[in-house]
Chain A
Amino acid sequence: MASTHTSSHTEAAKMEQVITEFFYESLFIILESRSPFVSSRNYSGEQTVSSPSSSSSSSSSVRPRDKWFNLALRECPSALENLDLCRQSNFESVVVDVILEQKPLDWGPASFSPKRDLFGNLSSKDKNSLFWNSDQEESGREIKSEKIIERWLVLHESRKGRDCNLGNRRSSCYSLSALYKKLILLWRSLYVTVRLLPAYNIFRDLNSSGQICAFKLVPRVYSFVEPLTRKEEVDMQRFWFTPVDTSCGRLCVSVLYYSSISDTSSESSTPMSPQFIPNYVGSPLADPLRRFPSLPISHGSPSSLPFSRRHGWSYDHYKASPPLVSFSPSPTHSESHALVMNLDEYCPSPNFSASPSPSPSLPIHIPRSHLSEALLRPESAPVDIPGPKVANSPALSDKHKLPPSPPLKITRTGTSRTDNFRVPAKTGATIEKLFSFEKEDRRKYSGVKISSCGSPRISCSRSSSRSFQDDFDDSEFPCPFDVEDDEMTNPGSRVESYDKREHPSDINEAGLFVNRKSQDAAVGALVRMLKKAPPLCQDISLNFSEASRPEMWSNSIQKQSQISEAATVEHAAALSSASSRLVASKTAADALEELRGYKVMKNLLLSEGGKAYTSANV
């Protein structure tokens, strides 16, 4: 009696264990073939197989769980996790939805979760589901589209009543063995079937492909779920596995599936492997800046420029119009045009000012700071060259020292002035220093230079004329304002020299003077002369005793050639007051006129002196 009860209890326990394993095995087989990267299937598509009976050590590799239904499979943690879910439902029903998720556009690798997505019904009707996945946030997104491509239903239809507990020992044993055999056959069929359905192809592609696809296969396990709509069921096919009768009911497995989901599974995104994007926004290749029109081209290599990127203010010496210098940050095209215009008109530099006129070619380096300053003050005054300090010393005013080297400037037009100037030797040496400095700058900024082939507007053209150095090295190049020793002691000689200069014997040479000498250089020379000249206030009387205004004095002398010196002095004194007023408002032109007057006066005095002597001798 007790033994029968014990055996029946044992049988019931065994039956319960079989049913438990039935649920576990079904979950295992389904989830193992629907959860990418969790499957026991390797990426090559084939498993390393060792038959349990082929080797002696095979028995040691057989796990206890493998003996259930004689199907040696790897562990599936997800199945074990969901076993509790089945237990919650008293092992009555388990639903596994295989969902094909289309990833949103903003998904990233981090969101590609290979793990199984476990969570209860979104409608929260399922109170038995306890597992919530971290992908819940993903599933809450409306932008993610999901589609149930398979629904597996594992049921244990219990047959309640007294029949479950009744049964003799023999029949229960028979039924248990038969049940076990039938369950084995069922799992064989289930194992093959899950690999024949279309969803398995997606699973296989996801597992084997190294690409990150736009779709994700997510199995979800429920203990209870709402049935599918009729529309969905119409499109799906159902496959029933033959139920296996148990002593307390029957075990059923069925599947609803789409017979064709190849359209969704064949779509694949581009590989997410790192790719070099050559034409990103802002890249040099994407949208190179337009070139500057017609600016001098530097013969230096672009690579030597500190800012030699094409999208910057670099240039291409193959192009016709590169910028004069390199600037950063890169300005806009309009700014570049404005810059060009400014460069055309004013090309200041710390050392040189470049004009578009064809004047002595000069490799010009215009640093950014200077250029910007120059642009702000287009009428910038010439920058003095910090020449020898001896030139600025007060002692020079009445001394015979050479004037400082003039600021070298290239005027816009070469025919502006007929003034001539001569650069003394020391000035030429200073200029050489400047050129050497310029050369260094040229080497430093080798990309910035002016060539003859580039700019018609920039006067710094080598081919147009001789170089500045050549010009200023010419010691014979006369300068009307050049104060030589002889001229300092004898102003007349100075005037004479000026007179000579003014009326050069060679017309061609005069033309050269005119072309080469700039108005500014002449003014500078005059200023230098004025500095050296004695103060007009002190010498005015003396000067005007000797010479007056050219016009007045010449007339007076001609008319009153016989007037004595006293008359001359009186006239000079009369004019002294007037001249004092004139001193304040004297300009360079006035100074030049005065100089002419001195010369005329000198001539007159000489002539008068000659006549007086002659008359005296007579």
Chain B
Amino acid sequence: MNCEVCQLKELEVEHFEIREVLLCILHTIVFHRALGLVRPKDVDLELFEITYVQCGDVELEEKIDEKIDHFISWVEKHPNKKSQICLSFYEVKSKQPSWFTNKTERLYWEQWYVNLNVTQHPKHHSSKSHHTKVIVDPGESATEERSSRRAMVEASLREVLFQIIKFVNEKKDHVPPISEGVIYFPYEITIPSSSDSAFGMDMIKRMLHNGHPTMLS
């Protein structure tokens, strides 16, 4: 089985927009892969005029929130860096235990890469500065700039969502069959670790588990 990989369009977001953007994207993806009986839940974003859908599973929501919190913490430690969150769906298959492998293996059949470029706005940068904050009257120009920027982020986010929908519609054969009583496929959310090297090690480990090279599309 091939692992379908989808690299989503890079989004340029600010620090305070990370949570809502990630919630929207991740839940949309998971909803498309929750083929069991679900009661959809509509959620309106506060920062954008977008409504996304959740599966309505409490455990899923908590896990996603936790991952997002970790990512935000990492962003705070590594400001002004491009980051990537990987959402992977896999199948668990048992295999012959060996020295370096577990009894079970994960067969990733789909991976979603959410690319974010977290920017720090000049006004919000000096939160810990000892110097006196320069009071800048935003004026109308700053407000207009903020609103235009917000519109751009919203449009980009909408594009990403449509990208997800198109991907889901175009590629259906790789999706495993639906198991009875299973709401959503097993998934994994991978965020950058404290060091890039560790992030790279995670990718290598995934490759060893998968047994397939990572395919970038």
Contacts and interface: CB of A to CB of B under 8 A. Distances in A.
Contact of A192 (B32, B35, B58): B32
A70 B36 contact: yes
A46 B42 contact: yes
A192 B44 contact: no
Interface in A37-85: 41, 45-47, 49-54, 62, 66-67, 70-73
B35 A185 contact: yes
A189 to B, nearest CB: 5
Contacts of B162: 196, 239
Q: Would you call the interface of chain B mostly helix, strand, loop, or mixed?
A: mixed
A54 B58 contact: yes
A88 interface: no
A477 interface: no
Interface in B155-172: 158, 161-162, 165, 168-170, 172
B175 A72 contact: no
B92 interface: no
Given A195-B53, A200-B51, A51 B43 contact: no
A50 B56 CA distance: 7
Interface in B8-66: 28, 31-32, 34-44, 49-59
A184 interface: yes
Contacts of A201: 49
A586 B51 CA distance: 110
A497 to B, nearest CB: 99
B122 interface: no
A191 interface: yes
Interface in A186-222: 186, 188-189, 191-193, 195-196, 200-201, 204
A189 B169 CA distance: 7
A197 to B, nearest CB: 10
Contact of B51 (A73, A188, A195): A195
Interface residues of A, number: 36
A380 interface: no
Given A242-B170, A242-B172, A46 B35 contact: no
Interface string B55-81: 111110000000000000000000000
Nearest to B167: A189
B97 interface: no
Interface stretch (B123-131, B138-146, B177-185, B192-200): B177-185
Interface of A: 41, 45-47, 49-54, 62, 66-67, 70-73, 177, 181-182, 184-186, 188-189, 191-193, 195-196, 200-201, 204, 239, 241-242
18 contacts: A45-B43, A46-B42, A49-B56, A51-B38, A51-B39, A51-B183, A72-B37, A72-B39, A181-B178, A184-B35, A184-B178, A185-B32, A188-B34, A189-B32, A192-B32, A195-B52, A196-B162, A239-B162
Given A47-B42, A53-B57, 20 more contacts: A45-B43, A46-B41, A46-B44, A47-B56, A52-B39, A53-B36, A54-B58, A66-B37, A185-B32, A185-B35, A185-B168, A188-B32, A188-B34, A188-B168, A191-B40, A192-B32, A192-B165, A195-B42, A195-B51, A242-B172
